[in-house]
Amino acid sequence: MDPLIQNLYNVLTQVQGYIYPNEVELHWSLLIVLYPYITGLVAGAFILASLERVFRVKEVRPTYELSLITALALLLTATLPLVSHLTKPFRAYEIMITPHPTSAMAIFGFVYLWYLMVVLLLEIWFDYRRDFVIWSQEKTGIMKWVYKILTLGVMDVSPETLKWDERLGRIVTIIGIPSAFLLHGYVGFIFGSIKAFAGGSGSDTPLLRS
């Protein structure tokens, strides 16, 4: 017998009271819960980085780069449990190309992209641009080209330009703080816009989640 069905029979013996037959299967399980857990870490790491960047908390200076890179790495993996939870994972891109505007989940795609592209990647790029330029001159072979591409052609490392990098990076971080709350709190909105659960839905769910 199919392991899913075998498992459902086991679950059925544990059901107390009555639930709709189609709801014996738990539809949003561990993989879904992992996602808010990971974005929680992303938001946390980002806030740590911004403590130094925006609020100038000197004690956390040594963790600055580490926390930004951690945020990026975790954000990239955050969608993996979500995509692997889909029964048709190869159709996942449809959310981005044919989003349905009334669906909280479709808009999530854009919240995620905003955070990834506008906040994290941009901030990291401003921080590392000088290094990219230097590395693209020092390294040889394929890595030279990788770094060259990463500079996006902006090779100017005069103190004047570096000051601009710093300033723009700071602005991005300031935008990033509310965005980190948004990204994490948005999960609450996905759950909150469901009418069917008595406990999980409500206008306060996004706040409680963030």
Partner 1 sequence: MMMKTEKKDKSRREFLKKVATVVVGTAAASVIKPFNAIVYATAPKKDSEHWYGMGIDLDKCIGCGRCADACKQENGVPREPFFFRTWVEQYTIKENGEVVVESPNGGIDGFKQSVPDNEIFKSFFVPKMCNHCAHSPCVQVCPVGATYESPDGVVLVDDTYCIGCRYCVQACPYGCRYIHPERHVVDKCTLCYHRIKKGLRPACEDACPRKAKIFGDLRDKNSELVKFLKEHTCLVLRPHLNTGAKVYYNSLSTEVR
Residues near partner 1 (CB under 8 A)? 2, 4-5, 8, 12, 17-25, 27-28, 85-89, 91-92, 94-95, 98-100, 102-106, 108-109, 190, 193-197
Q: Identify which of residues 4 and 142 has a Cβ nearer to partner 1 in the complex.
A: 4
Q: Identify which of residues 99 and 202 has a Cβ nearer to partner 1 in the complex.
A: 99
Name the minimum Å distance from CB 72 to partner 1: 25
- 76-103 residues labelled b (16+ CB within 10 A) or e (exposed): eebbebbeebeeeeeeeeebeeeeeeee
Query: Cβ distance 74 to 25 under 8 Å?
Result: no
Residues 6+ apart with CB under 8 A from 74: 38, 39, 41, 42, 45
Residue with tokens 């723009």: 168
Name the minimum Å distance from CB 107 to partner 1: 9
Residue with tokens 């990788």: 146
Q: Identify which of residues 132 and 191 has a Cβ nearer to partner 1 in the complex.
A: 191
Name the minimum Å distance from CB 38 to partner 1: 18
Q: Identify which of residues 35 and 126 has a Cβ nearer to partner 1 in the complex.
A: 35
